[in-house]
């Protein structure tokens, strides 16, 4: 998988070098990056699939429950720092138990996502990347009351991401990410 990602990165790099609209000075900078780019895919995968990354992902996914029992209509808050990967961030959520029926609790969540300033700056062979994140999320979760399993969820996400790369070349990127994630689980 890492080798395939490396091939894709090298292919994109080669396409940039062949692009006639790229200024010669920028092409010179890009061609000097060829050596450091090799192996980037393996580094990215190793980082995103590391024990720490997987632990933080699972903790964030499963950390939805209140610390004390709540009744319908009551709310609780959760927050976490995510320190791994290219997008270190902080999440803050307010949860509300909306209903309980047929052994299923329905909880609604609204939250914010912001930059995690305590996370180290991402750096690699080609330079450093400073990331700024801001956004909102909301959703509904269906939780099986007998097992605690999340059996269904829909989460809407709206993020603005700004990245500044410095090092072998300077690059500024701004991205807007909007999406909806829907999940249903079942046991056969």
Domain ranges of the chain: 1-49, 70-184
Most confident of 20-24, 81-85, 112-116, 154-158: 154-158
The per-residue pLDDT for 24 is 73
Query: Strand, coil or helix: what is 7?
Result: helix
Mean pLDDT of the chain: 76
Q: Is 143 exposed, middle or buried (0-12, 13-18, 19+ CB in 10 A)?
A: buried
What pLDDT sits at residue 94? 94
What tens digit of pLDDT does each residue of 53-92 get? Answer: 556 655 555 678 898 999 999 999 988 776 655 556 778 8
For 174-183, what is the mean pLDDT?
Answer: 87
pTM of the model: 0.62
DSSP H helical segments within the chain, as ranges?
A: 2-18, 24-32, 34-37, 40-48, 51-62
> What six digits make up the tokens of 43?
């580094």
- Residue 85 tokens, joined: 């990967």
d(CA 21, CA 19): 5
- Residue 2 or residue 28, greater confidence: 28
CA distance 128 to 148: 41
**Do 49 and 123 contact (CB within 8 A), yes or no?**
no
More confident residue, 57 or 16: 16
More confident residue, 34 or 108: 108
pLDDT the model gives residue 41: 47
Mean pLDDT of 33-40: 52
pLDDT at 130: 76
């Amino acid at each position: 998988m890492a080798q395939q990602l490396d091939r894709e990165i090298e292919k994109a790099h080669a396409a940039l070098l062949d692009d006639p609209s790229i200024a010669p000075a920028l092409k010179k900078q890009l061609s000097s990056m060829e050596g450091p780019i090799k192996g980037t895919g393996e580094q990215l995968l190793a980082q995103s699939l590391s024990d720490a990354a997987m632990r933080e992902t699972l903790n964030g996914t499963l950390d939805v429950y209140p610390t004390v029992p709540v009744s319908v209509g009551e709310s609780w808050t959760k927050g976490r720092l995510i320190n791994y990967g290219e997008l270190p961030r902080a999440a803050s959520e307010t949860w509300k138990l909306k209903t309980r029926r047929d052994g299923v609790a329905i909880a609604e969540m609204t939250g914010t996502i912001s930059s995690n300033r305590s996370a180290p700056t991402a750096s690699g062979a080609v330079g450093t990347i400073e990331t700024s994140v801001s956004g909102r999320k909301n959703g509904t979760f269906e939780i099986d009351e007998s097992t605690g399993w999340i059996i269904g969820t829909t989460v809407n996400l709206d993020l603005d991401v700004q990245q500044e790369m410095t090092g072998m070349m300077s690059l500024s990127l701004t991205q807007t990410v909007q999406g909806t994630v829907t999940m249903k689980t079942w046991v056969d």
